[in-house]
Amino acid sequence: MKTNKIFNGLFWSFTDNFLQQIVNFIVGIVLARILLPEEFGIIGIISVFIAVSNTFINSGLSDALINKKDASEKDYSTVFWANILLGLFIYLLLFITAPYISIFFKQETLTNLIRITAISIVIVSFSSIQRTLFTKEINFKTITIISTLSVVISGIIALYMALHDYGILSLVVRMVLGQFVTLLLFWILNKWRPKFIFDFKSLKELYKYGGNLFMSRLMNSLYDNLYYFIIGKCFSPANLGYYSRADTFRNLASTNITNAVQRVSFSALSSKNEEKEQMELFKKFLLSTFFITVFFMAILFVCSNEIILILIGLKWTNSILYLKILSISGLFIPLYTLNINFLAVKNRTHLFFQIELITKLFAIPIILVGVSFGIVPMLIGIIVASFLSYFTSAYFIKKLYNYNYRDQFTVIFKGIVMFLVSIILTLVADYLKIENLFFKLILNLILVCSVFLIGMRFLFPELIMELKKLKKSY
């Protein structure tokens, strides 16, 4: 596979995630100015159950289809029907348990909101194969068009509802409508249609590969949403609202990068047959991924005060500290994803699950201890857990493929140097006593961009070389 096709896929995958996040971001800003933090807390609780449920639909079978070089029509149709049956079962389960969830969190409105939002799970199951086919072809441009249209259409409807006092229901409707529009566009633009075939042998074969990925992602999803669950139960809905807003800002960068890297690196690395070629490509992904990650996390950290106050207002001031802490934890998430993806490509999916198990067994006690001291210590525990997750995955990369710590941590050290220099420069700039939030935001952005442009020149020259090669290829 040509390098320019890989970088083209990375660009469109990144663009896909970025545009979705931007629209979500705009809708979130409008809602944040209308709704109270407590109401965002309720949405946060619902998102826990939807996110975990969607993990079952993305059960690793799609990854198995992408990885399987000679996947047949029988394989695709079998996974299609399996996903639909699973989606219907999960919806029924959530429909029945919604009242009990409402009682557990002491929020009466949860019952109907969960039952409405859970419809999106069934809708997702109908478009999973079409998305898989585009992903296998590294045709992320089409996926981007579909995703952008769906988030824009559903976003406009949500904004209309929010401005006409529909409140929390506007975001719920947007989640369902967005998936429905996505479904329609996938079926229009992809000519694949399922056949009435269901082969248990095929399903079993695919699950041998995808099963460990599914268990790993399920564990990861449960762990990621554990914070929402704990804050929603142990602290006030307002605290969960503050956390969810900070998490949304962090995810605008971190999740966008992670999803882009996960989708493109898996397809690109799977296309390489020689281990040497895979390792060279892996190193390029590591370099570019961390540079981009540190850049955006630095912006979030140094501009958190201005971002929160300008965009969503004074009532969200408590989110500022949460955002600073979460931006540090976001440094290692895309790197961890890249390492895990590389193991999956090498058919080491059993290690995929083992790594998740090890990291979560270490991380959960850290977070639970933090809870006993308050929400801020709990968030600091997230930073520790995030680094432990990356370090564990890096250990297995070193052990299996002889990619030593020195090479990996050299890249990380350079990135963290730029991160710290950005913070120091903006702290010095604070002595200018700039009162206007817009001017202060612009100054901080200029300082961070300057640090990273200079850093790219002296600390990441390899990245400049790759960009020049990419330019020549076009």
**Tens digits of pLDDT across the chain (474 residues):** 555 666 666 677 667 777 777 777 777 788 788 777 787 788 888 888 998 888 888 767 777 777 777 777 888 888 889 889 999 999 999 999 999 999 988 888 899 999 999 999 999 989 888 888 887 777 778 888 888 899 889 888 988 888 888 878 888 888 899 999 999 999 998 888 888 888 888 878 777 777 777 777 787 788 778 888 888 888 877 888 899 889 888 887 777 777 776 667 766 777 676 777 778 888 888 888 888 889 999 999 999 999 999 988 888 999 999 999 999 998 988 888 888 877 777 666 677 778 878 888 877 787 778 788 888 888 888 888 888 888 888 888 888 777 777 888 888 899 999 999 999 998 887 788 888 899 999 999 999 999 999 988 888 887 777 666 655 544
Residue type, 29: I
Q: How many helices (H) and strands (E) does the chain have?
A: 21, 0
pLDDT of the residue at 474: 43
Tokens (6 digits) for 286: 């590591």
| H or E segment to which residue 146 belongs | helix 140-163
Specify if 1 maps to a domain: no
Same domain, 432 and 373: yes
Tokens (6 digits) for 359: 């990291």
Number of domains the chain is built from: 2
Query: What are the DSSP E strand ranges found in 257-332?
Result: none
Instruction: Find the domain containing 134 and state its range.
Output: 35-226
Nearest alpha carbon to residue 348 among 420, 404, 275: 275
Specify if 5 maps to a domain: no
Specify if 26 maps to a domain: no
Q: Are 221 and 51 in contact (CB under 8 A)?
A: yes
pLDDT of the residue at 434: 83
CA 450 to mean position of chain CA atoms: 27
Same domain, 144 and 127: yes
Nearest alpha carbon to residue 24 among 250, 282, 313: 250
Specify if 4 maps to a domain: no
- CA angle (321 as vertex; 314, 425 as ends), nearest 5: 100
Specify if 13 maps to a domain: no
Query: What are the DSSP E strand ranges found in 32-135?
Result: none
Same domain, 42 and 142: yes
Same domain, 161 and 253: no
Same domain, 171 and 312: no
DSSP H helical segments within 164-273, as ranges? Answer: 168-189, 200-224, 226-234, 237-270
Same domain, 280 and 363: yes
Specify if 16 maps to a domain: no
Task: Report pTM.
Answer: 0.73
Which of residues 226, 246, 280 is at a domain's end? 226
pLDDT of the residue at 301: 95
Radius of gyration over alpha carbons of the chain, in Å? 22
Nearest alpha carbon to residue 242 among 172, 312, 310: 312
Same domain, 341 and 372: yes
Same domain, 433 and 334: yes
Same domain, 109 and 88: yes
Q: Are 459 and 414 in contact (CB under 8 A)?
A: yes
Cβ neighbours of residue 462 under 8 Å, at least 6 residues apart? 287
Tell me the angle at which helices 3-34 and 168-189 cross, rounded to the nearest 10 degrees: 150
Tokens (6 digits) for 115: 């039952």
Tokens 């390792």 belong to 279
Specify if 11 maps to a domain: no
Which of residues 192, 226, 260 is at a domain's end? 226
From CA 169, how far away is CA 161, in angstroms rounded? 8
Residue 176 CA: distances (Å) to CA of 98, 277, 397: 17, 42, 39
Same domain, 217 and 241: no
pLDDT of the residue at 349: 64
Q: Are 452 and 418 in contact (CB under 8 A)?
A: yes
What's the pLDDT tens digit per position in 227-247?
888 888 888 778 888 998 898
Which of residues 200, 226, 252 is at a domain's end? 226
Same domain, 204 and 314: no
Q: Are 213 and 220 in contact (CB under 8 A)?
A: no
From CA 261, how far away is CA 256, in angstroms rounded? 9
Same domain, 111 and 253: no
What's the pLDDT tens digit per position in 334-362?
888 888 877 777 666 677 778 878 888 87
Specify if 39 maps to a domain: yes
